[in-house]
């Protein structure tokens, strides 16, 4: 196994010296392993793995060498996957993904289980997951649990059938606009009106997914895109500045909260509720997600179940305190998560 790892590092670094630096070993140790493998494979296959190219130049891998590198990557990858699966089953490691603004939920839940995890030697690993990758990270088993937002349908979603879902919030889709009543009258508008309204849209994320569902993958060619932005926060500033006249899709919770005079981001903007007449009705669901049936296969004391229960308690605390927006205290992570570009969260 160590020889295979060394071979991969030489392939990536180009030289024995480069591989030694990556591995934190002496060059002579790496070179000895390479020489041994070269000698053995010359006898086995009639061809060495690596050919020297001269001083200061990267080594040249033969056809046999290239084939063995690919085999080594697969072999070591399978071993690591097996080790991680065993650690996951035994509850020694718990991998958790979170979007930027759902970290508050996880932090609070983590405090509830921290002492138990410490005493049992459980390693809690936390990684940043972009909103568009929330479910994908679970499918590939990069994480055991993820906190984030997905676009779904009120009547149910086949995609979510493969997951256990702890729902924290749901919100419809609305518009924030600086257009006058003469330009966009009333407090509601049909979704079909988006074809004619000047829109500020995110390049990716939840609202891009909404437009994709309603108008197809080529929605940019069907809509009036007045500005394409990287962060929704910039979209708020753009509309407030008056430099551009248009509308931006946000969750209904954000649109409703924009009327609060204490909130700078919505100052001078008007909320317009979208009434669906194009494609399916869509909502943004914020919550925690795991692979379906996995928690049930574990003991109640398994760290995945303990953290899941802690997240449920944390959500109950947020709902009990009703801290957004009426109390004027710390914002609810759901509203913050959708105030910003989901691809950045």
Encoding tokens for residue 42? 């010359």
For the chain, give the number of residues: 345
Render each residue's pLDDT in the chain as its tens digit; 345 residues.
888 888 898 998 888 888 888 888 898 999 999 999 999 988 888 889 989 887 778 889 999 889 999 988 888 877 776 656 665 665 678 899 998 768 888 888 999 999 999 999 888 889 888 877 888 889 888 899 999 888 888 877 788 999 999 998 888 888 999 999 999 998 999 999 999 999 999 877 778 888 888 998 889 899 999 998 877 778 888 998 999 999 999 887 777 776 665 666 667 889 899 988 887 888 888 899 999 999 999 889 999 999 999 999 988 887 777 554 434 333 444 444 444 333 333
Residue 339 domain-assigned?
A: no
Number of domains in the chain: 3
Give the residue numbers spanning the domain of 82: 1-88
Domain with residue 40: its CATH number is: 1.10.10.10
Residues 11 and 145 in one domain: no
- Shared domain for 116 and 80, answered yes or no, is no
Distances, alpha carbon 220 to alpha carbons 37, 196, 202, 224, in Å: 55, 12, 11, 7
Between the two ends of the chain, the Cα-to-Cα distance in Å is 39
Task: Please work out, in degrees rounded to the nearest 5, the angle formed at the alpha carbon of residue 250 by the alpha carbons of 245 and 254.
Answer: 110
H or E segment to which residue 331 belongs:
none
Q: Say whether both 180 and 161 belong to one domain.
A: no
Is residue 337 in some structural domain?
A: no
Q: Which residue has the tokens 């996957």?
A: 81
d(CA 161, CA 173): 23
Domain boundary among 26, 61, 88: 88
pLDDT tens figures, 47-94:
899 898 877 788 899 998 899 999 888 888 777 766 566 656 656 788
Q: What's the rounded Cα separation, in Å, for the pair 174 and 59? A: 59
Residue 338 within a domain: no
* CATH number for the domain that contains residue 120: 3.40.190.10
- Cβ neighbours of 279 (radius 10 Å): 13
- The backbone torsions φ and ψ at residue 205, rounded to the nearest 5 degrees and listed phi first, read 110, -165
Domain match, 133 and 189 both: no
CATH number at residue 247: 3.40.190.290
């Amino acid at each position: 196994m160590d020889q295979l790892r060394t071979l991969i590092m030489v392939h990536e670094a180009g030289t024995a010296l480069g591989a030694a630096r990556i591995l934190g070993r002496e060059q002579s140790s790496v070179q000895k392993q390479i020489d041994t493998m070269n000698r053995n494979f010359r006898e086995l296959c009639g061809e060495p793995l690596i050919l020297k190219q001269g001083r200061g130049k990267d080594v040249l891998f033969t056809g046999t060498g290239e084939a063995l590198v690919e085999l080594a990557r697969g072999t070591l990858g399978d071993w690591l996957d097996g080790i991680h699966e065993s650690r996951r089953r035994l509850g020694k490691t718990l991998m958790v993904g979170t979007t930027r603004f759902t970290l508050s939920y996880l932090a609070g839940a983590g405090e509830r289980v921290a002492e138990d995890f410490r005493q049992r030697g459980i390693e809690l690993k936390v990684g940043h997951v972009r909103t568009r990758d929330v479910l994908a990270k679970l499918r590939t088993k990069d994480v055991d649990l993820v906190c984030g937002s997905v676009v779904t349908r009120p009547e149910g979603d086949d995609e979510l059938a493969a997951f256990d879902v702890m729902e924290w919030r749901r919100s419809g889709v609305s518009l924030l606009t600086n257009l006058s009543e003469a330009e966009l009258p009333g407090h509601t508008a049909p979704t079909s009106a988006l074809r004619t309204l000047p829109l500020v849209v995110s390049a990716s994320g939840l609202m891009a997914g909404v437009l994709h569902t309603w108008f197809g993958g080529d929605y940019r060619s069907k809509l009036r895109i007045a500005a394409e932005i990287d962060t929704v926060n910039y979209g708020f500033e753009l509309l407030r500045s008056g430099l551009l006249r248009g509308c931006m899709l946000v969750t209904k919770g954000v649109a409703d909260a924009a009327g609060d005079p204490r909130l700078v981001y919505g100052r001078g903007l008007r909320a317009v509720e979208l009434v669906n007449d194009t494609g399916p009705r869509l909502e943004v669901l914020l919550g925690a997600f795991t692979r379906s049936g996995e928690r049930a296969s574990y003991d109640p004391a398994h760290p995945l179940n303990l953290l899941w229960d802690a997240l449920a308690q944390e959500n109950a605390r947020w709902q009990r305190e009703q801290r957004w927006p009426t109390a004027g205290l710390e914002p609810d992570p759901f509203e913050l998560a959708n105030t910003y570009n989901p691809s950045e969260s």
